[in-house]
Structure 1
């Protein structure tokens, strides 16, 4: 584990001073020393309480067994950071070649989708993961940002933190951004018509749409659009005064 809540650790230390270490920690031999497999939080609190010794259960186990036992214990803690859980899942998958189904079964029957969704949090940009780790952003607020470009995710994250956006508000912001990507504003291309300049000039003059059609001999017609009689009268007046 990387994160230990100091306030909770102090509270546990006070409890240990009064009642002692109720549950032994689990260790495994490593050279001439021992490696803590389960109970690092209790060990830290015991040191904080001034204890020089604490009860241990010594077990010989493989690296996979150590990780499994450590993760299982941590998952039972309410203060476990979701990114620490995701990182442990990743180790079980990549280092020990476990499937998501196997991971779920080993950890109390979690579904494949639950394990997969937790792993997906590791795809978030580093700055967003740090915000989760620091407690500025909840898992629910961060989840909609998965898969977004880093700059977009960071922008929405900053607004979420600054304005206290709800999960629903974050989802709306992400949906709005995706909508702009699905329907981008197309840049107007230069008109291909040989009469583009004349069309633009006449449209400005009459204040309405103008079309020019010509054949290969140069003959053709000019169409001026009007919506109602008053607009027709206005255009006719312009033509008569030209």
Structure 2
């Protein structure tokens, strides 16, 4: 009985890509497939491709061909790209009819993990695409932030800070995706609670070129809600505790106190899946 192929899950990104590299050195494993039979990876985290860079790659392919085969897997109808969508798109742009490929025997989970992690390794995603890639790994593959950080060699707070960006309203997300807002500016905007207010301040930031420091000053001048019972600004100790919870949970957290030894902790979540993620981080089981 043939040995069962080991799943790529949990093996680490280096091991997965070393497999590709070793197989690409063996020309017998490279075949030519019609572009018409190949479909993009549905879990591709990159939603936008730089057109100028694609045209430059297209011209290179037109003159020299595709040096590095793309990696695909057999699907119900044709083939799906695992790694190499830029080369695929550039080949179509160059009016090519086929492309060299390596066909891998991968299941849905393996294709997702390799496709997402490979793009994250390249570090050319915009912040929202990167955040959505982390969320995909959490929701679809049930990886924790700690597991993702280990696979990518990034700190867990780094992962958590990107996930927080997903709670931004759509207009502000678009500014971030197109490079009109920086990561630091977007994180500062998260200090505002009202989505309409965030979008308004984001637009003001883009139009007037506000710095992070100026945004922080805007936050400090924002009046507390009229019905607030607790103090608007926590003590330095509570502020530090609040920041640690934000980094640990990857979401907005507010700690307030009434200066009488009592207070409250408010933890925001964006969806049922997000709540389950937070409960897991707090080691709370509802089973």
1:181 is matched with which residue: 224, 246, 266?
A: 224
- Under a length normalisation based on structure 2, what TM-score does the superposition of the two structures give? 0.59
8 Å CA contact retained: 2:131, 2:165: yes
Alignment of 1:19-168 (within 5 A): 19-106=64-151, 108-148=152-192, 149-168=194-213
Alignment of 1:197-236 (within 5 A): none
| Deviation at residue 86 of structure 1 after TM alignment | 1.0
- Under a length normalisation based on structure 1, what TM-score does the superposition of the two structures give? 0.69
| Deviation at residue 182 of structure 1 after TM alignment | 7.8
Distance 1:163 1:24, change over 3 A: same
| Deviation at residue 45 of structure 1 after TM alignment | 0.6
Runs of 4+ in 1 over 4 A off after TM superposition: 182-185
| Deviation at residue 136 of structure 1 after TM alignment | 2.1
CA distance in 2, matches of 1:147, 1:42: 40
Secondary structure of the residue aligned to 2:95 is coil
When the two chains are superposed, the root-mean-square deviation of aligned CA atoms in Å is 2.1
8 Å CA contact retained: 1:123, 1:147: no
Higher relative contact order (CA 8 A, sep 6+): 2
Query: Which residue number corresponds to residue 220 of structure 1?
Result: none
8 Å CA contact retained: 2:191, 2:219: no
Unpaired runs of 5+ residues, structure 2, are 1-45, 229-287
Residues paired across the two proteins, number: 182
Distance 1:94 1:32, change over 3 A: closer
Rg: which structure is higher? 1
